[in-house]
Structure 1
């Protein structure tokens, strides 16, 4: 039961080497200069992975930093959760690939993937908190490695300019006695009526890669941005009120650490009265990095000292499906 006595003991982040400014995307798509700025996506540049920067390679790089930050050896982990919406391959599960990349391939440490698109990291925190509270595990590595650039549709300007690649890792442990760190509130809601608004049809049994009827377009990302925005703005306010009435008034937390869907989506937070200087934003420099967006923003806030131990945070976001989720935690 809540609260979960969970402490984020260490954080790590890996950003692909290649920085892609809007001008490069416009040239690639054959667009006139300034087209992306007019979409109001809010992205100035993003990172796109090179061929050698795989999901597992990026995840392991972020994990090594998180482990060093926590002062924990990789061999001391007793669970790895690969919380990612993009998979390196269909089989095996990505958790095994991350485990092997960390040099733990013979360790027997359990590893599995939790995939709920852009909410994967938040769901993993919830699951890890329950595991720690039950005493099942003592040192859990959560890794989120996203490469949405691999499935972007060059014909869809809205999504082609929005997404970036990134990997983030967190080492979570039981909160030591006398420390305040905890997950205090958690809520997730799914509205399957919006399942077709954001999708990749291929990659599964519906559009099997060996079926001659499957086309290359089936393996590209589709997003009906207007429908997603309208649906999200309808369900998000009551969701936030159910997570906490104080949150619906823009109160109760020191920082809001949101998923970074778009500039327009981030403006929705203004309606609740959250001070803009207390809302973490990385969208302009990293783009929408899927499930990595929220923890990538948290990483930055912690590293530059804006978020400190004892601060109360609202981590919140939306995901394909259509899902909304959030948690209030003391860092």
Structure 2
């Protein structure tokens, strides 16, 4: 009998430092606390300090999971690291993390650069490794520190994004399939709508003069070394692509009524509410778990799953529709059977 990939456990880690709405309201007097929460649904974001990296958060999340004893370090066959906040341009941060965690040297370790759809892509990769017989136990790690890319005077992104890491243990199991109906897509025509323009090979930071600050029509200040987001374009993309992606999960054999929980990328409350209304999803099945940490990019779905587990909303037999979408443009969805 072919073994199938199954999620066994999830843990996550947030930085200690908090950026709450009261602090933002003092810095941006035109936005009061209630307005920030009403627009974003976020009460606080957790932000790394100057000495902290995404892989530090990832290390602590992995240690939490490994110390629970559901798997031995010696039995980990692969560590997949999804990030757009690598420690270095090279080597791969996954290799550094493998060494820090004292995982065996037979453990494969690699990075992949993906944003808000990264968890879905990572599940697909892990499923392929396990169900092809190459691995039995895989750690899927997502970790981001977008705060490093944000200009403090840019409230369009500073109010949304927080830093985090999450780790998901996937193992070979009888029965299943437990991960199914993977759907993917991308459209690089939207790349410039969520981007850090300077820092890669196209525009190397070392070859650029100190980038000049500029102010947009909304009063947000940034440089080309900072994160830029075209909010209206991202919203339009999400309202167009996500309903198409979501619909592709269902057919005559599976309907929306068969789903116990809908876990979408936790972008912000405004976008999630708009998607839920457009898709006519029941509010009691629609997960919203980001008020305490903000939009953590590739970490939002595993954090939401972990919070749902801890609240008893997920148990054996629960069927989940998971949907990721954003930077790239990139999108992905799948079914998770617990």
TM-score by length of 2: 0.89
Partner of 1:76: 75
**In 1: Cα distance, 2:171 partner to 2:21 partner:** 40
Q: Which moved more, 1:305-314 or 1:61-70?
A: 61-70
**In 2: Cα distance, 1:328 partner to 1:21 partner:** 34
Q: Is it true that 1:202 corresponds to 2:209 in the alignment? A: no
**Does the Cα contact within 8 Å between 2:119 and 2:324 map onto a contact in 1?**
no
Q: Which moved more, 1:24-33 or 1:153-162?
A: 24-33
For residue 288 of structure 1, the aligned residue among 281, 292, 295 is: 295
Partner of 2:215: none
Partner of 1:87: 86
Partner of 1:116: 114
**In 2: Cα distance, 1:193 partner to 1:312 partner:** 34
Matches within 5 A, 1:1-331: 5-29=4-28, 31-34=30-33, 36-37=35-36, 40-69=39-68, 71-104=70-103, 107-175=105-173, 177=174, 179-180=175-176, 182-213=178-209, 215=211, 217-245=223-251, 250-267=256-273, 268-331=275-338
Check 1:14–1:204 CA distance in 2 against 1; reply closer, same or farther (3 A cut).
same
- SS state at 1:206 partner: coil
Q: Which moved more, 1:36-45 or 1:5-14?
A: 36-45
Deviation at 1:29, TM superposition (A): 4.7
Check 1:249–1:320 CA distance in 2 against 1; reply closer, same or farther (3 A cut).
same
Check 1:140–1:185 CA distance in 2 against 1; reply closer, same or farther (3 A cut).
same
**In 1: Cα distance, 2:211 partner to 2:144 partner:** 23
Flag structure 2 segments of 5+ consecutive residues without an equivalent.
Answer: 213-222
TM-score by length of 1: 0.91
User: Considering only aligned residues, what root-mean-square deviation do their CA atoms show, in Å?
Assistant: 2.3
Check 1:278–1:69 CA distance in 2 against 1; reply closer, same or farther (3 A cut).
farther
Flag structure 1 segments of 5+ consecutive residues without an equivalent.
Answer: none
Q: Give 4+ residue runs of structure 1 displaced > 3 Å after superposition.
A: 28-32, 245-250
- Count of aligned pairs between the two proteins: 326
Structure 1 residues 206-256: Cα deviation after superposition (integer angstroms, max 9, x where no partner): 110111346272221000001110122112222222222479974331011
